[in-house]
């Protein structure tokens, strides 16, 4: 069963809360939540790149690592991953390899890049990275962007 | 200083050896090596997706995790990462976030997909994923493909 639009917004807010915790702990403001087909929250994860000194410790990737160890592929294939901000290409790939069925994100990349002022970046959207997998991995977003943007406010210094 | 073409081939062979060890240990045949600007081997890593039950434990990504914890960004910005086979989008992103300066790979994606018979895949090349970063991250490959393909032989069942 796919979560309702109301459920999608509710779980996205949990992902945004995880992003807020990441920021409070001195990390980048990104969070992710994994929800099963019965709308149960299985996992929450937050960015820990700075405190863990791990360039790959984005919220979504850390969540997939834990999920792979804890759940069977058949369970993951029924899950939705909620990301507070559109996943980068690394995380989009991790979500693919994790065998997740559905990805829902809040703040979209183009509006996120407006905040950071552009600068150096991986410019591909998650739909571009996941295009070849679109039959088994549904992508929904951006959603509730006006809420999702708030956790980023005042955090990023726009590039010159 | 950038490694010579002879050095590139030599370090790629180390990455292929790591891929061979991964296969011997029951994992997918992929390996990676990190080399600094003085042509010293800093790290080797191999795929451990199956034995670690971690969908993100590709050789390149595991190498970046270790490298981030162990070396300063300024050191990583002078390093070359050698991958036995062209990195997937997840790993290409990880190499970007790791701040690596140069990526050299052996077997290219198109020839690799011939072995696996296509099927489900993330179809983007590493150059497509890294296009926006091409000014700071040089990509070299494919190289010594006839050698790099050998570790895959008899491993993959072509998709129908």
SS3 B18: helix
pLDDT band at A159 (very low <50, low <70, confident <90, very high): low
Residues in CB range of A56: below 8 A, 6 or more apart? A49, A90, B56, B61, B64, B65, B68, B94, B97, B98
Mutate to test the interface with B, among A27, A45, A48, A55 (most CBs of B within 10 A): A55
Average pLDDT, chain A: 94
Closest chain A residue to the Cα of B98, Cα to Cα: A55
Residues in CB range of B121: below 8 A, 6 or more apart? A132, A133, B113
Which residues of chain B have a CB within 8 Å of the CB of A64? 55-56
Which residues of chain B have a CB within 8 Å of the CB of A59? none
Closest CA to B53 of A75, A5, A8: A75
- Contact predicate B106/B83, CB 8 Å: yes
The alpha-carbon radius of gyration of chain A (Å, integer) is: 14
From the candidates B9, B24, B44, B60, give the one annotated as an active-site residue.
Answer: B60
Residue B9 CA: distances (Å) to CA of A40, B37, B128: 50, 16, 23
Closest CA to A156 of A59, A13, A23: A23
Residue B127 CA: distances (Å) to CA of A99, B25, B49, B101: 24, 30, 24, 14
Residue B44 CA: distances (Å) to CA of B11, B18, B114, B127: 10, 7, 27, 23
**CB neighbours (10 Å) of residue B100?**
24
Cβ distance A89 to B129 less than 8 Å, yes or no, reads yes
Cβ distance B97 to A56 less than 8 Å, yes or no, reads yes
CA of A1 vs chain B CAs: smallest distance (Å): 23
The complex scores an ipTM of 0.95
Chain-centroid distance of CA A8 in Å reads 13
- Contact predicate A82/A104, CB 8 Å: yes
Nearest to A122 among B57, B61, B133 (CB): B133
Residue A91 CA: distances (Å) to CA of A17, A26, B111: 19, 20, 25
* pLDDT above 80: residue A155: yes
Cβ distance B92 to A94 less than 8 Å, yes or no, reads no
CA of A90 vs chain B CAs: smallest distance (Å): 4
Cβ distance B93 to A88 less than 8 Å, yes or no, reads yes
* pLDDT above 60: residue A160: no
Distance in angstroms (rounded) separating the CA atoms of residues B29 and A84: 34
Mean predicted confidence (pLDDT) in A51-58 = 98
Nearest to A93 among B69, B88, B136 (CB): B88
Enter the tokens of residue A150.
């708030």
Helix, strand, coil abundance in chain B, percent, nearest 5: 45, 15, 40
Share of chain A above pLDDT 70, in %: 97
Residues in CB range of A39: below 8 A, 6 or more apart? A1, A3, A7
SS3 A88: coil
Nearest to B56 among A64, A88, A121 (CB): A64
B60 is catalytic: yes
Top-confidence residue, B97 or B157: B97
Distance in angstroms (rounded) separating the CA atoms of residues A34 and A63: 8
Query: What's the longest Cα–Cα distance across chain B?
Result: 47
Mean predicted confidence (pLDDT) in A46-63 = 98
pLDDT digits (tens, 9 = 90+) for B69-99: 999 999 999 999 999 999 999 999 999 999 9
Q: pTM, whole model, 2 decimals?
A: 0.96
Distance in angstroms (rounded) separating the CA atoms of residues B135 and B118: 31
User: What local confidence, expressed as pLDDT, does residue B77 receive?
Assistant: 97
């Amino acid at each position: 069963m796919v979560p309702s639009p109301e459920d999608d917004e509710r779980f996205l807010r949990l992902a945004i809360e995880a992003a807020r915790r990441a920021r409070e702990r001195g990390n980048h403001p990104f969070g992710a939540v994994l929800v099963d087909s019965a709308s149960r929250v299985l996992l929450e994860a937050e960015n820990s790149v700075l405190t863990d000194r791990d360039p790959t410790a984005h919220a979504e990737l850390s969540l997939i690592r834990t999920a792979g160890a804890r759940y069977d592929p058949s369970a993951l294939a029924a899950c939705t991953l909620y990301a507070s901000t559109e996943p980068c290409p690394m995380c989009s790939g991790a979500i693919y390899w994790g065998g997740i069925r559905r990805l829902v994100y809040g703040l979209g990349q183009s509006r996120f890049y407006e905040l950071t002022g552009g600068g150096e970046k991986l410019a591909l959207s998650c739909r571009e990275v996941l295009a070849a997998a679109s039959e088994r991995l549904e992508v929904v977003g951006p959603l509730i962007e006006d809420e999702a943007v708030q956790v980023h406010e005042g955090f990023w210094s726009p590039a010159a």
